[in-house]
Amino acid sequence: MIKPLIYILVNSVLTENYVLSKFLGICPFLGVSKRINTAFGMSAAVTFVMLLATAVTWPIYTYILMPNNLIFLETLIFILVIASLVQLLELVLKKHVKTLYNSLGIYLPLITTNCAVLGVTILVIEKGSLDSSFGYIHALINALGAGIGFMIAMLIFAGVRQRIESCNVPNFLKGLPITLIAAALVAVSFFGFQGVAEGALRL
Amino acid sequence: MNKALYKEFSKGILKENPVLKLMLGTCPTLAITTSAVNAIGMGLAATIVLTCSNAAISLIKRFIPNSVRIPAYITIIAGFVSIIQLLIKAFTPEIDKTLGIYLPLIVVNCIILGRAEVFASKNRFLPSVLDGLGMGIGFSAALLCMGAIREFLGRGTLFDIPITAEFLPPIIIFILPPGGFFVFGMLIALSKILAKNKKEIESACQNCEIKNKCDISCTKEAL
């Protein structure tokens, strides 16, 4: 019972890393990975919204859209749910958890257009329709793993970028090109995790 | 054609190319360019959505209250994306399979929301349509360029026609995720060399639709 859950978590963090192997959420990955603390704030907010969005969209899909034959509204409904969740979260945090709002505040509006969030909600629905044992809990664990994977990629990359800054880079590669080449090398290193989850859990 | 209108159309193709100059829509650019055919599929789908949403938004911009305009734009865009998704599923299921998740993700493609906010919400119908069409073609051209390079190096084929595949082993890493980052970085470096004025290329934040709300200092950290 618990083994498949751990497998999903490890798999979604390392092997199926959303940034480095699925190319979701590249904009914040390149945009706000300049310093480690901003990278952490952004990815914490993204992880939270991913989890919340999956928690809301999965029941909507299974209990409202599916029985009523409205699957074609998936994209439309999901993006509206995410946009309103982000707005709601902003209001709640602003009113009740002022300190958290101040530290995350600026990242919150950015999350609506982060394709990793919409991506994870659609991907878990897809997984659920292919495998009947993939339920609500599995979906939530998968969303959590995707968020943690996003955070790990952001933090590793923030470290890499800080080192690039002190290097003498050829003029035409300065800025984005060298950043992207560094991202390519980080992505290569993530290939090393292929099969780790299966091997460790002996599945 | 009227000269001013032609300018709206042509600026998206080279001068303000959304991918290489404005750094928008990087996710699909990296993800689906493993072959030239995929790139064309994605480019076409995004161009149609971009043109339609620009047209619709320029027509109804007067009825959308300013405070809810972003959610309204997203809803309009999501509507068009759903239409395209259903059409592709019905008529070209192979393309639907290869584009997979990235087809619904056109909704959050920042090129489309960006053009809606920057251009269609301020301009009339015809310039908006031409702007969408030009930006879409620029996006498709950049995708095709990347797709062709990655397919040629990574598989030795071009549009599925073998070129060097028979006598040279392909460099498989180019069709894997790291190759995507690498080729994209090289393309930007190339466009930087070609552009005489280096300041033309700015960071991802410069054209972000919420850059004024967000004070992350990346604007200062531009290239």
Q: How far is A135 from chain B (nearest CA, A)?
A: 20
Q: Is residue A62 in a domain? A: yes
Judge: B101–A180 Cβ closer than 8 Å, yes or no. Answer: no
Mean pLDDT for A65-75 is: 83
Q: Which among B108, B176, B179 has the least Cβ separation from residue A118?
A: B108
* Chain B residues with beta carbon closer than 8 angstroms to that of A81: none
pLDDT digits (tens, 9 = 90+) for A14-40: 888 888 888 888 877 777 767 787 778
Residue of A175, A171, A182, A162 whose CA lies nearest to B222: A175
Residue numbers of chain B with a pLDDT score lower than 50: 198, 200-202, 215-223
Q: Is residue A27 in a domain? A: yes
Burial class (CB in 10 A: 0-12, 13-18, 19+), A1: exposed
Q: Is residue A202 in a domain? A: no
Judge: A181–B185 Cβ closer than 8 Å, yes or no. Answer: yes
Least CA distance to B89: which residue of chain A?
A72
Least CA distance to B178: which residue of chain A?
A184
In this predicted structure, what is the pLDDT of residue B207?
A: 58
- Two structure tokens written together for B188: 């930007």
Q: Is residue A102 in a domain? A: yes
In this predicted structure, what is the pLDDT of residue B216?
A: 46
Q: Is residue A39 in a domain? A: yes
Q: Is residue A2 in a domain? A: no
Helices in chain B by DSSP H: which ranges? 3-11, 26-31, 36-60, 69-91, 93-99, 110-115, 125-155, 177-194
Mean pLDDT for A137-160 is: 89
Residue of B84, B105, B200 to mutate when probing chain A, most A C-beta within 10 A: B105
Q: How far is A17 from chain B (nearest CA, A)?
A: 11
Judge: A118–B218 Cβ closer than 8 Å, yes or no. Answer: no
In this predicted structure, what is the pLDDT of residue B208?
A: 59
Mean pLDDT for A68-81 is: 85
* Chain B residues with beta carbon closer than 8 angstroms to that of A150: none
Q: Is residue A171 in a domain? A: yes
The rounded distance, in Å, linking the Cα atoms of B103 and A34 is: 30
* Chain B residues with beta carbon closer than 8 angstroms to that of A23: 27-28, 30-31, 177, 180
In this predicted structure, what is the pLDDT of residue B48?
A: 92
Question: Taking the complete model, does pTM exceed 0.90, yes or no?
Answer: no
Count of the separate structural domains present in chain A:
1
* Chain A residues with beta carbon closer than 8 angstroms to that of B192: 172, 177
Q: Using an 8 Å Cβ cutoff, are A134 and A128 in contact? A: yes
Judge: A180–B184 Cβ closer than 8 Å, yes or no. Answer: yes
What is the ipTM score, two decimals? 0.82
* Chain B residues with beta carbon closer than 8 angstroms to that of A103: none
In this predicted structure, what is the pLDDT of residue B201?
A: 45
In this predicted structure, what is the pLDDT of residue B56?
A: 92
In this predicted structure, what is the pLDDT of residue B155?
A: 82
- The alpha carbon of B180 is separated from its chain's Cα centroid by a whole number of angstroms, namely 15
* Chain A residues with beta carbon closer than 8 angstroms to that of B38: none
In this predicted structure, what is the pLDDT of residue A104?
A: 65
**What count of other Cβ atoms lies within 10 Å of the Cβ of residue B99?**
22
**pLDDT greater at residue B81 or residue A7:** B81
Q: What average pLDDT does chain A have?
A: 82
Q: How many CA atoms lie within 13 A of B137 on its CB side?
A: 13
Residue of B80, B89, B171, B181 to mutate when probing chain A, most A C-beta within 10 A: B181
Q: Is residue A200 in a domain? A: no
Percent of chain A with pLDDT over 70: 96
Print the domain residue range for A86. 7-194
